[in-house]
Structure 1
Amino acid sequence: MLRPILIVIAMAMQLLFRLFFFVILLATPALGQAPASTSTPAATETTGAESSQVVDDLVRILEDDTARAALIERLKQAAPAATEETATEEILPDLSIARQLAEYTRSVAQGASATVRAVGGIFVNFRQAVDGTLNADYEMLGALAVNLGIVLTGLFGSFWLLRLATQPLMARISRGAANRNIWQKLGIIAAGTLVDTLSVIVAWAFGYVLALNFGTTPRGEMGINQSLLLNAFLVVEVCKLAVRILLAPRHTSLRFLPVTDDNAAYWSFWLARLVSLLGYTFMFVSPMLASAISPAAATAVQILIMITVVTVGVIIVLQNKDDVRVWLSELAVRRGNAGLWRVLAAVGQQWHVLAIAYLLALLVVWFANPDEALPFMLGATVQSLLAIVIGSLIAGFIGRFVNVGLRLPPDISQRLPLLENRLQAFVPAVMAVVRWVVIAGVVISVGQAWQLFDFANWIGSDEGLGVAGSVVSAALIVLIAIVLHVVVASWVEYRLSASSGKAPTPREKTLLNLFKNAFTVALVIFGVMLALAQIGVNIAPLLAGAGVVGLAIGFGAQKLVQDIITGIFIQFENVMNEGDVVEAAGRSGVVEKLTIRSVTIRDMTGTVHLIPFSSVDQVSNMMRGFSFYISEVEIAYDSDIEGAKQAMRDAFALVMEHPDYKNVILDDLDLQGLIAITPASVTLRSRIKTLAGKQWGAGRFYSETLMRLFGERGIETPTPKMRYVPGKDGKSLPELPPVDDDQG
């Protein structure tokens, strides 16, 4: 529904341009004419005579002592009335809330009054514009029509011909930019920009040649209105050139912005029209009408153009409401909904309301104070957009850096395998902080641009420098603490790595891990304390409170104190280390972790047991010095004992031949022989001495080999024997208890 309206508005704008140029050719004084004066020569002479008379009277008063004293007395009597308001203002304190509220309400009231007067003066301006046009000097219109007609025809005609002539070259440049890398593409885009820029400059220079050599003015001279037209042409076409460089509606390969062809053509069309309308109106038409007809005529044209531009802007905003909202939402999703992108997505939900409010506010501000308020608002807008664009670029670079990740060289990764993971977990957190700092910088820049606060002067003051120094010092302390943690953790990891050249002992593993934990805790405490002290927090009460809390813990948490004291003595006595197989508090297994307070043991089933040292009254370490594998086997009562012993020796010999176990066995087989006799069996014992912790593998292989040899040599184990007696009906009788063969 909105696109037909925009087409109609575009046609109306073209008609309005033609009307402007027609008015220029018919209603403007001669080229080079000075601004029209409203006073006649007689009036000028009268005014000069009156001014001379006033000066003479003032000189006579100053020369006469009596008259001079009377004048001074009269000025003194008038001074209190003139300074009453100033004295009243000086009584109020400058920083009082009442004074600030009064100043604010006064400025709002004055601004509203000025706006109402400006809106009410629109109709007066149009009426005065019509009167000025009717009273124009028509003898000058012909000369101006000739002069401007020559410049207009030559300027825009030459520019159109140049653009037409460079189109094949631009098309060739566009084809050359396809399928090129970024640097080659930038060079080709620069070449295309140079060609387009030369077209503008050549047409502009040709217009100056025409203005200086043709027309009703003497050769080598030109009127101010022709200069206004040429300067307006240069500024407008340079702005349109920037739009063409960014959007390139006719040359896709030369386009900077990632937009579709339809969007590029759409935005290029409307931006070019709006720039032309505003540029030619305020830089050419309005100044010329102000000097040729009346300031009211210039104001009337400006009002008409501003209303048209704001109306077109509102329609464009409504037409693209959904597209921009979806684009911002998708952009935030692609960026992970982090930081500035999340804010932009939230703003995108109601961006059209903000944009329309801004356009209407721009129109109202221009009505109220076009000389001061409008330049301030436009400057603040440009600064805000620059801050947002720069912040978005920095946030995008940070996001890409975090997404790509940090990769260390292979040799460093081999020596410090956990460093890369540690840095990958550390860098995103730092980058998130940096991203929020960027967002804060954007907010401060926008507030500074709109003068919501004077951050620049505040940061330059003693108070601002103190606050900034404190924040920067605290941030540096935190950063140094984090770097120290990474360095110490990496050094511990390097010492515990077997690739460092020397395999760490279990004692080194235990002590280094304890040192890393203690250093981390101390670093966190000291880093937080120093950072708080830098930002002005008194840490003395915190230290005193920590002492009181420690004393309370000492009385109330006796088990915790007992855990720590017992753990300290266990570490001093080197009872166990990480990787040892121990038995403590009724649990046996491998020590996985040792702290100053507890030990973590994983048993044979894989269950992890966390045992506080206060519950440990005895520690049995199975991995100190050497170990024994004890083998106790039972054989039948009537078995050959010497044959069984020989089988045990042969099994040990086979174990010594195995490549995996021969190097862990430290001594010959300790065959202790018969150690127990029962009515059904006898027990034989042997021991194998191995390295600490290596007894179980060699022992299992020894037991398997021994059982195989017993089976091959007929050495029976005391297994219960069952005898079944078949019944008379063919069914077996119930199972009988074992029967001793010797007793029949």
Structure 2
Amino acid sequence: MSRMLLIRILFLSLLLVLPATAQDILTGGSTTPAEESADPEASSAAVDDLIRILEDDTARAALIERLQQAAPEAEGAQAQETVAPDMSIARQLAEYTQGIAEGASNSVRSIGLALGNLQALFDGTMNADGEALRQFAINIGLLIAALFGSFFLLRLIANALGRMIAARVSARGVVARITGLLGLAVIDVASILLAWGLGYVLALNFGTTSRGFMGINQSLLLNAFLVVELIKLGVRIVLEPRFSALRFLPVTEGNAAYWSFWSARVISLLGYAFMFVAPMLSGLVSRPVGGAVEVLAMATAVTIGIIITLQNKDDVRQWLGQISERRGNDGFGQMLAAIGRFWHLVVIAYLVALLVVWFANPETALPFMIAATMQSVFAVLIGSLVVGFISRFVSTGLSLPDDVRQRLPLLESRLKSFVPAVMRVVRWIVIAAVVIAIGQAWALFDFASWIGSEEGLAVAGSVVSAALILLAAIVLYVVVASWVEYRLNVNFGKVPTSREKTLLNLFKNAFTVALVVFGAMLALAQIGVNIAPLLAGAGVVGLAIGFGAQKLVQDIITGIFIQFENIMNEGDVVTVGSWSGVVEKLTIRSVTIRDLSGTVHLVPFSSVEQVSNMMRGFSYHLAEIGVSYDSDIEEVKSAMHEAFDRLMQTEHKDEILDDLEMHGVTGFGDSAIMVRARIKTLPGTQWGTGRRYNQIIKEVFDERGIEIPYPHVTYVPAAGGGASKSPPPAGRVEDQREDSAD
């Protein structure tokens, strides 16, 4: 007896915890939701039956036998559940097509059931509550008439106020037009809310037999009216087909009216069908009737969309073709032209796919596709705006203010070379982001989950870090190059010396090389590239170059010592090897010299054994004048001092550093006595000062009658040919050539 009591307690506990399972065991089948929600008296009767079964030995033995038979079956079912499902592409495709077929079948069957229900309704088989149905039709009809009638009158008033607002702001600025558009939007919203509120008042007071209460169908109608009209209002605000003065979208009157008309019709069709007609018929008649209305509305909307697409096929193709021609049929223009040829096929295929998918799964497919479409359109719109701005920025170019351009003449050209390249990279990044957003919207891949994972965060962090390093390197190069350019600009700040010019240019070149190397290495390290082999390889390559290019190494080493010794700088006049001229460019390996004739010579430092700089510290003009032997030397010196005094009254006075340094007679030539003097000048000005001094010397000597001898030839005729020419003046050299007669 105690064992029987224990069994009863055990099964009663089982019934309390899992009543549905106990009922299945007792009945040998599964329970339905209706049976689970049965009256408590039925559960009490089941408990009594179980007690009787347990008290009866035969029934209890049968129950135990059935439990023993059910255990292996349950284990087998559990084992089948643990088997991994077949996730092959073929099976997924089969399941998807099965869902489409079943959904389409259910839709067709719902249409048939709906037609049968409507026929039964009109035949009187479902008119048991005919009076209530007629009363409902009267109430809903009165509500519709009152709602839309009041809304029509309010719209007339709103249109009159809108005409006044448009006339007032038509000749004014953008701010006034925006204010007018907002005011018109407020008036339209107020008209919708007033009509909606009036409808609720009528429904609460006249819609049912009891005041203060309204039916669910009246509420469906009013809510559908509010949602649909607000959406239509949003479209009207964007297109503004009524008042062109308040329209900001660049469309014509005809296009604005066309698209406003058809968008309003499609929105009304889908909104009222899904939010009012289908739920109302589902409650009044049957769910298949409501489903049939949804199918009919969806098919009608898709048909309208296909008709609109075919009507605008040529217009859109011509519009995109004109854009392509304006862009010169470049890559983007050719893409637009291709889209113009095939866009209608893509849209029609999308609409048909939307209808088919909705047939397959009407509960979730339509919201998913609408949400994915809106997200895709939004992503494409934002991406187009960003890409358009970048393209306009690149095509327009970068223009700096005049003061910045004067201080940094090369900065604008430098930015114009870097900024377009950076903008092109940014444009491709934006395009990739748009593609990712579209794929995410259509569930092609889960980029958000991947980027939120550890792997995604690591990859994104590496890419962003590498991009920031490259961007920082570019910015740093522009800053350093601009600073060097500013320091070398003689029109602003301190005038740079030749040494500063040389060192700043060398610093810019060395900094650029180091920045490129280190920036590339750091960027590669951020994206996961092991740079240790690269560094080792660079060392080996450098060693090989050192052995194979000894001249190059010699050039560099000699150039380093030349820079340390500061023997020459850019702008100096030097003699390097066998070449003399102005130093135009000085690197660590070679020097570029332009001689007096304009010829440019590149001299590697490995061939330089001696450097002569004629512009270091100060210079001298060495005036060595030849005078005749009969000249008074003191008179010559006095003339040279007078010429120097006259030179000090010319524009060269600021270039002369000291008085005339007279050296006196320095030599005796064949025809002249050499008298030398020296003028100390600023470096690089000795040639101009010397040329001016020589000119003044000639003038002073002419004034004083001091002769500057020059060689000449005297012809002496033959003895019988007449008297010879008179001898030349003293002090002149004569090269006498006598021709003796035979």
Does TM, scored on the shorter chain, surpass 0.5? Answer: yes
Kept in 2, the 8 Å contact 1:622–1:692? The answer is yes
CA RMSD of aligned residues (A): 3.9
Q: Assess, with a 3 A threshold, how the Cα gap between structure 1 residues 678 and 635 changes in structure 2: closer, same or farther.
A: same
How far did residue 153 of structure 1 move?
0.7
- Does 1:86 find its partner at 2:86? no
TM-score normalised by L of structure 1:
0.80
Residue 60 of structure 2 is aligned to residue 69 of structure 1: no
Secondary structure at 1:609 match in 2: strand
Partner of 1:663 in structure 2? 655
- The residue correspondences of 1:189-200 to structure 2 (distance < 5 A) are 189-200=181-192
In structure 1, the partner of 2:3 is none
> 2: CA distance between counterparts of 1:594 and 1:333?
50
Residues 607 and 320 of structure 1: CA distance in aligned 2, closer, same or farther (over 3 Å): farther
What residue in structure 1 maps to residue 13 of structure 2? none
Instruction: For 2:446, give the aligned amino acid.
Output: D
Does 1:107 pair with 2:92?
yes
1:632–1:343 CA distance, 2 compared to 1 (3 A)? farther
Mapping 1:603-614, distance limit 5 Å: 603-614=595-606
Which whole-Å deviations, capped at 9, do the CAs of 1:115-146 have from their partners, x for residues lacking one? 23444555544332221112124514422221
Greater Cα shift, 532-541 or 384-393: 384-393
| Residue of 35, 40, 60 corresponding to 2:49 | 60
Separation in 1, partners of 2:384, 2:615: 61
Of 114, 121, 128 in structure 1, the residue corresponding to residue 113 of structure 2 is 128
Q: Distance in 2 between matches of 1:631 and 1:318?
A: 97
Which residue does the alignment assign to 1:616? 608
- CA deviation after TM superposition for structure 1 residue 324, in Å: 3.4
Give the drift of 1:639: 9.0
Q: Is the 8 A contact 1:146 1:216 kept in 2?
A: no
Aligned mates of 1:48, 1:716 — CA distance in 2:
140
| Pair 1:697-2:688 in alignment | yes
Query: Equivalent residue for 2:619?
Result: 627
Determine the C-alpha separation between the residues in 2 that align with 1:67 and 1:181.
Answer: 93
* Pairing 1:172–2:164 present: yes
Q: Which moved more, 1:300-309 or 1:446-455?
A: 300-309
Query: Residues of 1 paired with 2:681 and 2:162: CA distance?
Result: 86
Q: Indicate conservation of the 8 Å contact 2:560/2:588, yes or no.
A: yes
* Change over 3 Å in CA distance of 1:45–1:194 after alignment to 2: closer
Query: Partners of 1:657 and 1:717 in 2: how far apart?
Result: 28
The answer to whether the 8 A contact 1:132-1:297 is kept is: yes
Q: Specify which of 440, 463, 481 is matched with residue 473 of structure 2.
A: 481
One-letter identity of the residue aligned with 2:114: A
1:269 to 1:523, Cα distance in 2 relative to 1, 3 A: same
Structure number with greater CO (CA < 8 Å, separation at least 6) is: 1
Which SS does the other structure have where 2:425 is aligned? helix
- Aligned-partner SS, 1:135: helix
Match of 1:504 in 2: 496
8 Å contact from structure 1 (residues 143, 216) kept in 2? no
> What SS class does the counterpart of residue 590 from structure 1 fall into?
strand
Return closer, same or farther for 1:66/1:472 CA change in 2, 3 Å cut-off.
Answer: farther
What's the counterpart of residue 312 of structure 1?
304
Q: CA deviation at 1:583?
A: 2.1
**Of residues 387, 390, 394 in structure 1, which corresponds to 2:386?**
394
Question: Match for residue 559 of structure 2?
Answer: 567
CA 1:384–1:589: 2 relative to 1, 3 Å: same
Aligned CA distance change for structure 1 residues 401 and 293 (closer, same or farther; 3 Å): same
Q: How does 1:573-588 map to 2 (within 5 A)?
A: 573-588=565-580
Q: 1:149 to 1:689 in 2, by over 3 A?
A: same
Between the aligned residues of both structures, percent identity stands at 56
TM alignment of 1:631-642, pairs within 5 A? 631=623
Does the CA-based 8 Å contact 1:317-1:356 persist in structure 2?
A: yes
Q: 1:151 to 1:82 in 2, by over 3 A?
A: same
**Larger CA deviation: 621-630 vs 639-648:** 639-648
Per mean C-alpha deviation after superposition, the further-off stretch among 302-311 and 242-251 is 302-311
Structure 2 partner of 1:526: 518
Aligned pairs for 1:195-210 (under 5 A) are 195-210=187-202
1:729 aligned partner: none
Q: Displacement of 1:626 after TM fit?
A: 1.8
Tell me: CA distance 1:339–1:637, structure 2 relative to 1, closer, same or farther (3 Å): farther
* Amino acid across the alignment from 2:310: L
Which among 133, 138, 142 is matched to residue 150 of structure 1? 142
Structure 2 match to 1:226? 218
Distance 1:642 1:47, change over 3 A: closer
Instruction: Say whether residues 1:237 and 2:229 are aligned partners.
Output: yes
**C-alpha spacing 1:314/1:648, structure 2 compared with 1 (3 Å):** farther
Going from structure 1 to structure 2, the CA distance change for 1:269 and 1:580 (only over 3 Å counts) comes to: same
Does the residue aligned with 1:625 lie in a helix, a strand or coil?
Answer: coil
- Deviation at residue 409 of structure 1 after TM alignment: 7.0
How has the CA–CA distance of structure 1 residues 164 and 323 changed in structure 2, closer, same or farther, with 3 Å as cutoff? same
Whole-Å Cα distance in 2 between the matches of residues 143 and 335 of structure 1? 66
Bigger mean CA offset, 697-706 vs 490-499: 490-499
> What is the CA–CA distance in structure 1 between the aligned matches of 2:71 and 2:488, rounded to whole Å?
93
Q: Which residue of 2 aligns with 1:37?
A: none
1:582, 1:59 → 2: CA distance? 124
Distance 1:111 1:694, change over 3 A: same
Structure-to-structure mapping, 1:332-351, within 5 angstroms = 347=339, 350-351=342-343
Of the three residues 577, 581, 585, the one matched with 1:589 is 581
Q: Closer, same or farther in 2 for the Cα pair 1:116/1:175, shift >3 Å? A: same
Instruction: Please name the residue that 2:358 is paired with.
Output: 366
- Does the alignment pair 1:383 with 2:372? no
Which residue, 250, 257, 268 being the options, matches 2:260?
Answer: 268
Q: Mind listing any 5+ residue stretches in structure 1 that lack a counterpart?
A: 1-43, 91-98, 726-738
Shift of 1:605: 3.7
CA contact (8 A) 2:713 2:735 kept: no
The size of the alignment, in residue pairs, is 676
| Counterpart amino acid of residue 90 in structure 2 | T
The verdict on how the C-alpha distance between 1:717 and 1:171 changes in structure 2, with shifts beyond 3 A counting, is farther
How do 1:529-540 residues align onto structure 2 when only pairs under 5 Å count? 529-540=521-532
Structure-1 separation of matches of 2:74 and 2:440: 40
CA 1:49–1:395: 2 relative to 1, 3 Å: closer
**Could you tell me how far 1:154 is from its partner in structure 2?**
0.7
Q: 1:374 to 1:224 in 2, by over 3 A?
A: same
TM-aligned CA distance change 1:296 to 1:485, over 3 Å = same
Q: How big is each residue's C-alpha offset from its partner over 1:231-278, in whole Å with a ceiling of 9 and x where there is no partner? A: 111111111100011010111222232222222112111111111111
In the aligned structure 2, how far is the partner of 1:141 from the partner of 1:333?
A: 64
* TM-aligned CA deviation for residue 694 of structure 1: 0.7
The DSSP-based 3-state class of the residue aligned with 1:452 is coil
Hey, what does 1:295 align to over in structure 2? 287
Residue 688 of structure 1: aligned partner = 679
Residue type at the aligned position of 2:348? I
Which residues of structure 2 form unaligned runs of 5+? 1-32, 55-59, 718-732
* Partner amino acid, structure 2, of 1:485: Y
Q: Contact (CA 8 Å) 1:637, 1:718: kept in 2 or not?
A: no
CA–CA distance in 1 between the matches of 2:221 and 2:530? 68
Shift of 1:447: 1.5
How far 1:673 sits from its partner (Å)? Answer: 5.6
